[in-house]
Amino acid sequence: MTADWLVCANCAGRVSEGRCAVCRAELARLREGRGPWSHFGSPAALIALLLTLVAVTFLVTRPT
């Protein structure tokens, strides 16, 4: 989940802007919830990683 489209009930602004203390607390909570491997959670990132591994395997095992 991203804070790009979340609207704060306290200040009626986007949470990603961090206008009030409630927005800043929610941003901190969202950032804390993401781990170091969260960027591999999207399907596009997993496909890119898989294609990279296939390309490296092909380059290593090809005959000279």
Residue-wise pLDDT for 19-61, tens only, equals 899 988 888 888 776 666 666 667 787 889 899 999 999 999 9
More confident residue, 16 or 4: 16
Element holding 59 (H helix, E strand): helix 43-61
Cα–Cα nearest to 4, from 40, 30, 32: 30
**Which position has the higher pLDDT, 22 or 4?**
22
pLDDT at position 62 is 86
**Per-residue pLDDT, 38:** 66
Position 52 scores a pLDDT of 96
pLDDT at 2 over 60: no
